[in-house]
Amino acid sequence: MSKTYENLPGASGKARFFRPSRYEAAEIFSGRPPRLVFEDEVFDLDNISARGAGCTSRKRVDDTPYAAPGAKGVLKLTQAGRELFLGAARKARHITGPGGVSAGFELEENSFDLDWLIRENASILARRDARPAEIRDPSPAYKTFCADTAAFIGGYLQRINKFVAPIEDRLGENERSDIARDLANAAEAEWLNILRDGNALVGKIHGDKQQRIGYKSFTERTVTQMLLAGPGWARCLFKPAGYPGDYKIMNYGYEQKPEGDTVAQKFLHLLGMIASRAIITRMEVIANLISEYALEKHAQGGEVSITSVGSGPARELEDILEATPRDIRWRVTLVDQEPAALDYAFDRIARFKDRDRLQVSGLNISFREMLRPTQDNASFVHNDVIYSSGFVDYLNPLLAQRFVKRLYDFVKPGGRVIVGNVNNRATGMIWPLEYITDWSLYFRNEEEMRAMANEIPGAKVSVVPDPMDAIYFLVVEKPLD
């Protein structure tokens, strides 16, 4: 029986305030969206509706001035130097985080013709030269390496397509996951050698920007395309949260579980998990360093105050509780610019069996806010330990020094600052992160790690590697008064 108009339900809550449909830019623009330019600011387009757009600038954090929210100006969409749209717009939001800048814009007068933009963007991409002339070609050895890597991955996909795909619709979810695990286990030893060889090859040229661009472009056209059906690889490359390293990517690495619908997708995802295992050892080293401090300084029990900057899912807290006796209690501040990460962390902490030993608060602020002496930063003051496991990787040398000095100022005498950073060694992750998934970081050697504490005279400074020799940890201890 049909309803009368007066009985048709509308939306409830916030949904009552209608907004035009918003689309993921990477999905509707064939994986290569146009650039968004607002006055002199250049962004990557993340999502778009008829009346506005969300975007990010994934450059390493620096002191580049940006227009504040509310600013009005000219907005352009461009692809390969061609202008697709020009119109007046207002900056609706601007957030600075560890992965760069996130911004949103609203059109002032006209609107985006999405159908036309999609068609024109695809037409430009199809007609343009495949490789800009200024990109330097990789060495023959690197091209051979990428071809061999693609053949290695393709060999496993060929076996899946030949033997598993024909009967895959008869398999349950667990059966598909089990087959993917078996294949990943069989591939692991050779895949680890490939990762190490890739790290070594790109480590020789990484400091040359033009060579780095050329090597990354070639890698994305060959190896990356073989891996993108794996959910982890795709999330890292397309960065749907607007920046790399969001808490869902971190959880992929912590959980090491098959993801995807098919055996092939699950297998490819697990190759990414093999490449990202240093995420787990990074968490374990952080937990060990903090636990050792607590056992050393609070042998008779008491409260230890710690703050995690760029906390993400904060998985290390569970290990810290397990490694320390019940008479040591913890006052914890979690700081992150992603609200969803804090939501996830608090929900997980609520289920800890020793939850009563934790007093946890969260602070949702940006990197720039943290560096400024504001009232919000009072929660940092007089900590035993302030740590950051994956934040300083995004900061240039000057900002990294400022960041470490700022944290050092907050810890009490006898306290410690602990900062983790991916290294640039063949045992690290420079090739899969930077070259396969365009996850740009500062990959630091031991000397560069120590340099982050150059502005802190009198401190005890040490550098600790993780067991995989993929991550370095700078430990800066403040002397007692």
Is residue 10 domain-resident? no
Do residues 201 and 297 both lie within one domain?
Answer: no
Is residue 328 domain-resident? yes
How, if at all, do strands 100-107 and 358-363 pair?
A: unpaired
- Boundary residue ending a domain (220, 249, 275): 275
Is residue 296 domain-resident? yes
Contact 75, 87 (CB under 8 A): yes
CA distances from 148 to 9, 155, 159, 191, 264 (A): 59, 10, 17, 11, 19
C-alpha of 303 from chain center:
32
**Mean pLDDT: which of 80-84, 242-246, 330-334, 380-384 is highest?**
330-334
> Which residue in 27, 16, 28, 25 sits closest to 43, CA to CA?
25
CA distances from 452 to 106, 282, 424, 428, 449 (A): 40, 19, 16, 20, 6
Rounded to an integer, the average pLDDT of 280-287 is 97
Do residues 308 and 397 both lie within one domain?
Answer: yes
Is residue 153 domain-resident? yes
pLDDT band at 379 (very low <50, low <70, confident <90, very high): low
pLDDT band at 299 (very low <50, low <70, confident <90, very high): confident
Mean pLDDT computed over every residue of the chain: 89
Give 423's strand partners: 444
Is residue 233 domain-resident? yes
Is residue 251 domain-resident? yes
Rounded to an integer, the average pLDDT of 222-242 is 92
- Boundary residue ending a domain (96, 127, 158): 127
**Total-model pTM:** 0.76
Do residues 176 and 306 both lie within one domain?
Answer: no
Do residues 355 and 416 both lie within one domain?
Answer: yes
pLDDT tens-digit series, residues 91-118: 999 987 766 788 999 999 889 999 999 9
Domain coverage including residue 200: 140-275
CA distance 17 to 308: 37
How, if at all, do strands 302-309 and 100-107 pair?
A: unpaired
Contact 355, 403 (CB under 8 A): no
CATH code, 442? 3.40.50.150
Report the pLDDT value the prediction gives residue 18, as an integer from 0 to 100: 35
pLDDT band at 136 (very low <50, low <70, confident <90, very high): confident
CA distance 168 to 78: 43
Do residues 223 and 292 both lie within one domain?
Answer: no
Rounded to an integer, the average pLDDT of 319-335 is 95
Report the pLDDT value the prediction gives residue 308, as an integer from 0 to 100: 96
Do residues 265 and 350 both lie within one domain?
Answer: no
Do residues 291 and 431 both lie within one domain?
Answer: yes
CA distance 397 to 226: 35
Do residues 389 and 268 both lie within one domain?
Answer: no
Do residues 316 and 444 both lie within one domain?
Answer: yes
- The total number of structural domains in the chain stands at 3
Is residue 3 domain-resident? no
Do residues 462 and 420 both lie within one domain?
Answer: yes
- Boundary residue ending a domain (88, 105, 127): 127
Is residue 222 domain-resident? yes
pLDDT tens-digit series, residues 15-53: 333 345 888 898 888 768 999 999 889 999 999 999 999
Do residues 310 and 432 both lie within one domain?
Answer: yes
Do residues 324 and 271 both lie within one domain?
Answer: no
Report the pLDDT value the prediction gives residue 481, as an integer from 0 to 100: 74
Helix 140-159 crosses helix 263-275 at what angle (to 10 degrees)? 140
pLDDT at 333 over 80: yes
